[in-house]
Amino acid sequence: MDVISVIRTKRDKGELSPEQIDWVIDAYTRGAVADEQMSALAMAILLNGMNRDEIARWTAAMIASGERMDFSSLSRPTADKHSTGGVGDKITLPLAPLVAACGAAVPQLSGRGLGHTGGTLDKLESIPGWRALLSNEEMLHVLDTTGAVICAAGDGLAPADKKLYALRDVTGTVEAIPLIASSIMSKKIAEGTGSLVLDVKVGTGAFMKNIEDARELASTMVRLGTDSGVKTVALLTDMSTPLGLTAGNALEVRESVEVLAGGGPADVVELTIALAREMLDAAGIKDADPAKALADGSAMDVWRRMIAAQGGDPDANLPVAREQHVVTAPSSGVLTRLDAYDIGIAAWRLGAGRARKEDPVQAGAGVELHARPGDTVTAGQPLLTLHTDTPEKFDYALDSLENTWDIAPTGTAFTPSPIVLDRIA
């Protein structure tokens, strides 16, 4: 085998053989295939796609590159959730402790930011002392004692995906459906969870811009999970407008704690509860009420124990950016559109995301929203607040916000889109 032949096969719209797939994944993991060569193959896959057999084999090869975990020693059924990424998507933070409070064990392996979308680990690392990297023994201990753990996949779990995940972020290949599906499912299947709920985002702020592509991705992942013995369900959810009122690391943690305290934005609460119900159902837990667990403080109790178990201080002050810039409404009327992608790009440019895989992120950077579609605004009132430690980034971020909102005349009727658009099982 040689990598040039593999690249040419996919470049010329051919089907990769099982042997080619097994070889290239193994060779890339070992370092025998260079980043620039895998970048070329990833771009060819983005442009020309893969069929069902290729995706299944690619996923299996990624799983085979490392170890598989086993949670059979736990007394609770396991349930996990994965989001394909959005703007302001902090749902994992309140969701994991909520589902644990209802009786399931939640082994949540999460990732870092990809492109304009935030990463759960980047968000949680804004909590002083919190650790994303746990050994398998530590992960199992936290899971057993608190009911939930949110951490990075260990080096032994699908190491091929760990390399490829970071590479996709900086080579414009994040949106490739075969690579998204295999990346997500290789980790989740190797992780060993008994059931999985997928939150597949649709809209301008998602990698899937239209519902047809989102449905294709969801169906592909549901098949991969089901064929591997993991009960898998997918919800297609709207990502045309940012979730909640924040996009950025510490900003989103603060908002998540508000949700766990019984408050927070209505859309974040609604989606958290909807996903919790799906996870509990998939795990076979029928008598728990996640809305009650959110309201009575039991989910907050799990959150505090989970954060402390990973070295974090749940009472510590979160980082705040040194500089802020307020963007005001240019006219009065009804806000009818607030583009999620533009907000995500602005947060990324302010320092909440990374341009290269080795770049650090600013914990306090991001965008705070003061209005949502459907709200009536007045000319000159704050619409957004930009946060960063590096004020020279403000102009760069403002460039991405030139066509971010629409304001219709006062009295214009507005019908919001539903959050959950479809369910695939």
Give catalytic residue positions: 82, 161, 168, 183, 187
Ramachandran category for residue 116: left, alpha or beta (phi over 0 → left; psi -120 to 50 → alpha): alpha
Query: What does the alpha-carbon distance between residue 296 and residue 362 come to, in Å, rounded to a whole number?
Result: 33
CA nearest neighbour of 388 among 244, 241, 248, 242: 248
> Which residues sit opposite 110 in a β-bridge?
152
DSSP character at residue 201: E
Q: Check: CB of residue 108 under 8 Å from CB of residue 81.
A: yes
Q: Which uninterrupted H or E stretch holds 366?
A: strand 366-369
The vertex-99 CA angle with 218 and 341, nearest 5°, equals 45
Compute the Cα dihedral for 299, 300, 303, 309 and give only its sign: negative
Q: Count other Cβ atoms within 10 Å, centred on residue 394.
A: 18
Query: What does the alpha-carbon distance between residue 323 and residue 278 come to, in Å, rounded to a whole number?
Result: 40
Q: Check: CB of residue 20 under 8 Å from CB of residue 1.
A: yes
Query: What does the alpha-carbon distance between residue 236 and residue 26 come to, in Å, rounded to a whole number?
Result: 33
Query: What does the alpha-carbon distance between residue 347 and residue 345 come to, in Å, rounded to a whole number?
Result: 5
Q: Check: CB of residue 201 under 8 Å from CB of residue 83.
A: yes
Q: Count other Cβ atoms within 10 Å, centred on residue 57.
A: 20
Query: What does the alpha-carbon distance between residue 43 and residue 174 come to, in Å, rounded to a whole number?
Result: 10
